[in-house]
Chain A
Amino acid sequence: MNSENEFSILFNLNGDEIHYLGDPTRRLLNVLREDYHLTGVKEGCGEGECGACAILVDGHLYNSCLMMPYQINHKSVLTIEGFRDSKRFEIISRAFEAAGAVQCGFCTPGMVMATEALLRKNPHPLRDEIASFMSGNLCRCTGYDMIIKAVMIASEAGDGLW
């Protein structure tokens, strides 16, 4: 510890072991965007309502605007930047394209991370289960149906991957 406000936090970020030395109570969203330049993680509301800042922590979906670095000590964090080279991302990407699930794009990385989190828990979700799971990710452009369809397409096309 360098000073009173600095803590040492070890975590895995998109596959890399990270030693974070700093304020343990900063917003994780800012740490990811400012310190590690992970700008695919967006700020839409700053209070956990919109899901634009959604990330996976040990495989579960979290809003990074409501987290602090001390909460990820010894955990594994995945953002869109760490996910986008995977086979699963490719399936989700093709599904979003087929369904027309992208418009302005601001909610999109969060939607992709939410899709991954859902399919990890439930590889073959029903329409209602998707609608309910994704309800923490707001989109103002699509009216959601195309996003829900994208998740269904991904679930089918990626059968066995999740």
Chain B
Amino acid sequence: MTSEISNPVKRLDFDEKINGSIRYTADMELPNGLFAKTLRSEHAYAQIINITTPSLPDGYFIITSKDIPHNNTIPVVENDWPIFAEEEVHYIGEPILLIVGPDIQMIENLMDQTIIEYAPFKPTLTLKEAMQNPPHLELSYTKGDFDHTTLKVLDKFEETFETGLQEQAYLETQSMMAIYEAPVIKVYGSMQCPYYIKDALQNALAFSPENIEVYQNPTGGGFGGKEDFPSVLGVHTALAAIKSGHPVKMIYDRSEDLSYTTKRHPCKIKLTTYFDENHHLVAREADIILDSGAYTGLTNVVLQRLSFSIMGVYNITPLHVSARAYKTHKPPNGAFRGFGGPQAFFAIESHMNHIASRLGVNPLDLRNAYLVKQGDMTSTEGKFRHPVKLPELVWRMETMSDYRNHFAESEEYAGVGISLFLHGCGFTGSGEKELLKSKVSLAKFEDGTVEIKASSTEIGQGSLTTLSKIVAQALEIPIDKVIHKLPSTANCPDSGPTVASRTTMIVGKILYDLCGEVKKRWNEPRFEVSAMYKYPSDLFWNNTELKGDAYPEYAWGANVVRVTFNPVTYEVDVKDIWAVYDIGTPIDSKMVKGQIDGGIVQGLGYASMEEMNHIAGKVLQNRLSTYIIPCSADFPEIKSATLFNPFEEGPFGARGLGELTLVGIAPAYAAAVEQATGVKVNALPITPERLRRLIHEQRK
């Protein structure tokens, strides 16, 4: 069943994308422009003793921390991330200075002639080493009454899961340019969050806010990788433009991007489940460890989302969760679609499978016995306030995939796996209420057109089109009467960052509500109205106790994957992929399918092939020929469906979607591989090399 709004429309940016005329940052001409390149640390942990720079030809400049008028930090959540290393370097690749000039070859020659002398310290490179010192972040919470003494006597099952780094691998690398027209600094580039860059510029330059303008250029993919990191390039190019007096452009090459930008946090999760004498699951404990890399970045928020997601979709109470993050001398990790969710669901869903196998029950029957319902407590003792259609989701999945038959009648070297999962839509904790305070405007003009003004960015997901559709349908005007351009801080209020599956559900909702006011005043020739997000009044959050509604709403999903295994090459071949979601009303069925297929394939990359390791602090997979992402020949067609369950607080009933599709596919894949190989797989990615090792170990 669908609503009218679900009928697909042509993307607003389709024509200029299909014919190649759209200009990304690297394609833009910059008259009198200079290029900037970053000189980076060669040591994982060292003191900088001395820097010897070559004499510069005319028109070339060096930018260091001394050129920063105010704070030498990139503000994310904490202020521990330097713009340039000053006295110490904390990872291989940390920026030390920029060389700026008209010719890239000359810049590279000058970089070769720049000599940095270091006094190296012993770096902390692995989580194991890092855990000898205290964590830099720590949290814990308990749902229900978790009493160790009572639980001690019960039967328990404990296991540990590990996941690795994952790179966003957006096709367009990080790109930015800056123009200084005193007293105004203008920054243009590839980004998810214009106002984050504005904050970073203000923190570094101490310019007054009206003299800082940030413009989004067409952006070739983000996936979280352009949430926090573009602030680094934004400040770097701005400093270079101010010092040189020329426009400055900075384009990372693929190797630089793969090696030194933020990635998904590697993670270690220990889960313990307690059983009563009837083999009921009566309590659960989770211990979570993250590798932050050298600086905090967004780690504390990832740590929260991961910790809150670890209850899965199951009401197993009491639940006790403790989580810690440790710094290592590697590039800082950051945001990536799912934001802790993929790690949590790999662990919890695999753990459910292993319990089912211990108890000798079907994995789906075990799950069905513990599904959360409307009115149940969330992990943080908030409430699932709206209809939870998990039984329907499961039924739909069983019908579509014939999971039970595949599971029962699996042939040798074939396997099937299922996963159930949720994703909190919107910022974690009281973020939507206290941090973001999202604001949007609508401008109505004489000719009956309406312009959307919001800082939400188009990064491929289709938000220019979906937000326009919401406004067009709410105002009952044709979509070509809605104007929606790429945002800038100069022209758009801060509708919050384009992250956390929040754009359609939250920004779309403020726009939808605001349309009511526009309609009332429709006969006025020209006016502009604004509104802020109305945080649902029955939600509460206590950030000290970590109690309450961690998210305004949840979206739900089920995945089934069927594989075969080649015992000679250790390769896994995916035969079928099924997916069912409850995302409320799909705003555009084609855009929704784009998010489903794209998220699943990115998640299957995470599960099966995307591997990134550091040796002595240096990344091994620094090219697309060594960091392997899925190609068109890797996976079959995905069969997907959505449930009809409109969300009363979302625009036309929509919930969040963007991250949900990546979150649950890895455990379904892992379960299928386990059935096909007969070995237990507690770590990602499941490469043929890992499988070979596991098979040899476990068959001893």
Q: Do A and B bind each other?
A: yes
Asked whether any CB of chain A lies closer than 8 Å to the CB of B461, the reply is yes
Chain A interface bracket (under 10, 10 to 19, 20 to 34, 35 or more): 35 or more
Residues of A within 8 A of B22 (CB): 105
Asked whether any CB of chain A lies closer than 8 Å to the CB of B208, the reply is no
In the complex, A109 Cα to B18 Cα: how many Å?
Answer: 6
Residues of A within 8 A of B24 (CB): 42, 106
Determine whether the beta carbon of A40 is less than 8 Å from that of B594: no
Determine whether the beta carbon of A138 is less than 8 Å from that of B624: yes
Chain B contacts with A in 155-171, Cβ cutoff 8 A: 168-171
Determine whether the beta carbon of A47 is less than 8 Å from that of B18: no
Determine whether the beta carbon of B635 is less than 8 Å from that of A109: no
Contact of B171 (CB < 8 Å), options: A104, A134, A136:
A104
Chain A contacts with B in 76-135, Cβ cutoff 8 A: 79-81, 84, 89, 93, 96-97, 100, 102-109, 112, 127, 130-132, 134-135
Residues of B within 8 A of A84 (CB): 19-21
Determine whether the beta carbon of A43 is less than 8 Å from that of B26: yes
Residues of B within 8 A of A46 (CB): 253-254
Determine whether the beta carbon of B631 is less than 8 Å from that of A93: no
Chain B contacts with A in 600-618, Cβ cutoff 8 A: 600-602
Q: What 1/0 mask marks residues of chain B from 614 to 644 whose CB sits below 8 Å from any chain A CB?
A: 0000000001110001111101011000000
In the complex, A117 Cα to B623 Cα: how many Å?
Answer: 26
Contact of A107 (CB < 8 Å), options: B27, B171, B219, B461:
B171
Asked whether any CB of chain A lies closer than 8 Å to the CB of B11, the reply is yes
Chain B contacts with A in 522-542, Cβ cutoff 8 A: none
Determine whether the beta carbon of A105 is less than 8 Å from that of B632: no
In the complex, A152 Cα to B625 Cα: how many Å?
Answer: 28
Given contacts A49-B624, A106-B171, A141-B460, A100 and B593 within 8 Å (CB-CB): yes
Determine whether the beta carbon of B623 is less than 8 Å from that of A49: yes
In the complex, A14 Cα to B303 Cα: how many Å?
Answer: 52
Q: What 1/0 mask marks residues of chain B from 165 to 185 whose CB sits below 8 Å from any chain A CB?
A: 000111111000000000000
Residues of A within 8 A of B629 (CB): 138, 140
Residues of A within 8 A of B594 (CB): 100, 103, 141-142, 146
Nearest residue (CB) in A for B15 is A93
Determine whether the beta carbon of B171 is less than 8 Å from that of A50: yes
Asked whether any CB of chain B lies closer than 8 Å to the CB of A56, the reply is no
**Most chain A beta-carbon neighbours within 10 Å: one of B8, B601, B623, B638:** B601
Determine whether the beta carbon of B591 is less than 8 Å from that of A104: no
Determine whether the beta carbon of A138 is less than 8 Å from that of B631: yes
In the complex, A135 Cα to B13 Cα: how many Å?
Answer: 25
Asked whether any CB of chain B lies closer than 8 Å to the CB of A70, the reply is no
Q: What 1/0 mask marks residues of chain B from 412 to 453 whose CB sits below 8 Å from any chain A CB?
A: 000000000000000000000000000000000000000000
A-B CB contacts (within 8 Å), total count: 161
Determine whether the beta carbon of A145 is less than 8 Å from that of B254: no
Nearest residue (CB) in B for A109 is B20
Contact of A40 (CB < 8 Å), options: B19, B221, B461, B591:
B19
Residues of B within 8 A of A20 (CB): none
Given contacts A40-B21, A49-B624, A81-B20, A104 and B633 within 8 Å (CB-CB): no
In the complex, A14 Cα to B169 Cα: how many Å?
Answer: 31
Determine whether the beta carbon of A131 is less than 8 Å from that of B632: yes
In the complex, A4 Cα to B432 Cα: how many Å?
Answer: 64
Determine whether the beta carbon of B593 is less than 8 Å from that of A104: no
In the complex, A105 Cα to B631 Cα: how many Å?
Answer: 16
**Most chain B beta-carbon neighbours within 10 Å: one of A97, A103, A104:** A104
In the complex, A50 Cα to B257 Cα: how many Å?
Answer: 15
In the complex, A50 Cα to B255 Cα: how many Å?
Answer: 13
Residues of B within 8 A of A144 (CB): 597, 601, 630-632, 635
Contact of B10 (CB < 8 Å), options: A97, A104, A138:
A97
Contact of B593 (CB < 8 Å), options: A112, A146, A147:
A146
Determine whether the beta carbon of B633 is less than 8 Å from that of A132: yes
Determine whether the beta carbon of B598 is less than 8 Å from that of A93: no
Nearest residue (CB) in B for A79 is B20
Determine whether the beta carbon of A47 is less than 8 Å from that of B632: no
Determine whether the beta carbon of B220 is less than 8 Å from that of A135: no
In the complex, A89 Cα to B20 Cα: how many Å?
Answer: 12
Residues of A within 8 A of B481 (CB): none
Q: How many whole Å from A57's CB to the nearest CB in chain B?
A: 17
Given contacts A100-B590, A103-B460, A135-B632, A143 and B19 within 8 Å (CB-CB): no
Determine whether the beta carbon of A93 is less than 8 Å from that of B623: no
**Most chain A beta-carbon neighbours within 10 Å: one of B15, B17, B20:** B20
Contact of A140 (CB < 8 Å), options: B14, B18, B26, B598:
B598
Can you show 24 pairs from A to B with CB atoms below 8 A apart?
Answer: A33-B27, A42-B26, A42-B172, A44-B171, A47-B623, A47-B624, A49-B625, A79-B20, A80-B20, A89-B19, A96-B18, A103-B460, A104-B219, A105-B17, A108-B20, A112-B18, A131-B633, A140-B169, A141-B594, A143-B602, A143-B630, A144-B635, A145-B638, A146-B597
* A100-B590, A138-B629 given; 7 more Cβ-contact pairs under 8 Å: A42-B171, A103-B594, A127-B637, A134-B631, A142-B594, A143-B596, A144-B631
Residues of chain A having any CB pair with chain B under 8 Å:
33, 39-47, 49-50, 52, 79-81, 84, 89, 93, 96-97, 100, 102-109, 112, 127, 130-132, 134-148
Residues of chain B having any CB pair with chain A under 8 Å:
8, 10-11, 13-24, 26-27, 168-173, 218-221, 223, 253-254, 459-462, 590-591, 593-594, 596-602, 623-625, 629-633, 635, 637-638
